[in-house]
A and B are shown apart, each in its own frame.
Chain A
Amino acid sequence: MKKYLSFFRLRFIYGLQYRAAALAGIATQFTWGMLEILLFKAFYEEGSGEFPMAFSALVSYIWLQQALLALFMTWFLENEIFDTIKNGNIAYELCRPVDVYNMWFTRSMANRLSKAVLRSMPILMIAIIMPEPYRLHIPKDFVSGIWFLITLILGYLVVVAFCMLIYISTFFTISPMGVRMVAISVVEFFSGSVVPLPFLPNKIRMVMELLPFASMQNVPLRIYSGDIAGIRIYEKAALQLFWLVILVVAGKLLTKKAAKKVVIQGG
């Protein structure tokens, strides 16, 4: 455990070095969030269909989504890991006295967290002082704030566990591009990063809410904005935990299987 912890710290500090890149990212994400809100505002003012979330809840959803993008974007994959598998350096990784799965898991966690820490604070700070209707509200009560944090961590772990499956799939296909693109576009839509899930037609939504992808950003962001409240919080958190366990177990099993029959392609 200790070795993973120090590895985590190492990668985390390494990630914090990229401050100029973070500044550019903040500007981009801020504009992105603002345009997204203006877009939904136009729909809201149209008023021809029922609006499934309160507008202020939606605004909070979008700001948090932009601020915490680094935790949840599935397309943020590490090329280094793909390269290790492709060019044969995986042989060294397998020789080390650490578990490859845990190692990569720690590494992805640290990378995402360092990015998010650098970027989220400025965006959230500006979002909180924005004029009304565009303002980010703080959660209604203390309890939902706590649950937001818990589900945020769970959702973040589900994302990392899912990305691990994409990495591991490279063992079996060598050319990861196809799997990667399909997986990413499916997840982007199903997790509610294109359109928040409440905006989808009910029948489709009911199925999607059960899938692992809805356990990513969907749950914490909606708890924060008060769209999920009361007993449904526990259901959602339990579902997140369930998917996390399934994804991690699947990842570990696949890694074992892959490591047994791995063929190193030269070196």
Chain B
Amino acid sequence: MKLYLRYFIIHLKSIMQYKTSFLLTALGQFLVSFNVFLGVYFMLHRFYRIKGFTFSEVLLCFSILLMGYTLAECFARGFDTFSSTISNGDFDRIMVRPRNVMLQVLGSKIEFTRVGRMLQAIVMFIYGIYKSQVDWNFNKIITVIFMIIGGAVLFTGIFIIYAAFCFFTIEGLEFMNIFIDGAREFGKYPVNIYGKRVLQIATFIVPYTLVQYYPLLYLLEKDAKDWYMFLPLLAVLFIIPCYLFWKVGIKHYKSTGS
């Protein structure tokens, strides 16, 4: 933990050396995800609601998922760019150091420019709270926190799988984008609107719905059981198979030699 804190401070210091560049990139991040927001806005401007969800409710759903995703992308970026770590031989250097490998990969990159996207998620979240008629109580606030943490852990798990594939293929696999960018892109709406089949896949194969759809039902008091609020914690368990897969990958690792 102490070591990670050191990494954190070093990355923060280095980014502050280029303040303008940092601000511009953060602004760019804001704009890019702003498009998705515009898409949702115009669609619901025309149709008013989708499968019983109103604009502000969709915004809540989208912003909470986006926060979880952004946290994961910010801190687990080292796994996202792992293919270059392997192909340029940096991973050999990591292996010989007497410290935890995963911690070092995590610390190899922290993407602070994602604050642009985070800011957007927070603005949407506040707007969503303001416009939707949710009676907030202690349990619901806890649920939101669970959802954000669960989302962050879930996406970190997917990043780890993505990185672990690199042990076998060297290259990053483009089809993994379905689970990363696709989940972010289509997770803007509650998963049930894509139909039953997609809902099942997103529950039992990769548990997106546990951090998105089901706890959202609890928040909005739409025909939800009380235990739905703890489902995001169940999703956290997803990291275990990811970790095991990573272990298998490391055993399989051969240096590229460069």
Contacts and interface: CB of A to CB of B under 8 A. Distances in A.
Interface string A182-212: 1011001100001100011100000000000
Majority DSSP secondary structure for residues of B touching A: helix
- Measured as residues with beta carbon below 8 angstroms from the partner, the interface class of chain B is 20 to 34
Contacts of B194: 35, 38-39, 42
B21 A175 contact: yes
Contacts of B247: none
A200 B47 CA distance: 11
Given A28-B177, A42-B194, A194-B36, A199 B46 contact: yes
A262 interface: no
Interface stretch (A43-51, A81-89, A105-113, A229-237): A43-51
Contact of B35 (A25, A180, A188, A200): A188
Contacts of B42: 195, 199-201
Nearest to B190: A42
B173 to A, nearest CB: 6
Contact of B43 (A27, A184, A195): A195
Contacts of A25: 174
Nearest to B23: A178
Contacts of A38: 193-195, 198
Given A35-B186, A188-B35, A49 B48 contact: yes
A14 interface: no
B47 A46 contact: yes
Contacts of B29: 181
Nearest to A52: B46
Interface in B24-70: 24-25, 27-29, 31-32, 34-36, 38-39, 42-43, 45-51
Q: Across chains A and B, which 4 residue pairs bring their CB atoms closest together, nearest first?
A: A181-B28, A24-B174, A42-B193, A49-B47
Interface of A: 21, 24-25, 27-28, 31-32, 35, 38-39, 41-43, 46, 48-50, 52, 175, 177-178, 180-182, 184-185, 188-189, 194-195, 199-201
Interface of B: 21, 24-25, 27-29, 31-32, 34-36, 38-39, 42-43, 45-51, 173-175, 177-178, 182, 186, 189, 193-195, 198
30 contacts: A24-B175, A28-B177, A31-B182, A32-B178, A35-B186, A35-B194, A38-B194, A38-B195, A38-B198, A39-B186, A42-B193, A42-B194, A42-B195, A43-B47, A43-B50, A46-B49, A46-B50, A48-B47, A48-B48, A49-B47, A49-B48, A52-B46, A177-B25, A178-B24, A178-B28, A181-B31, A185-B28, A185-B35, A189-B39, A201-B42
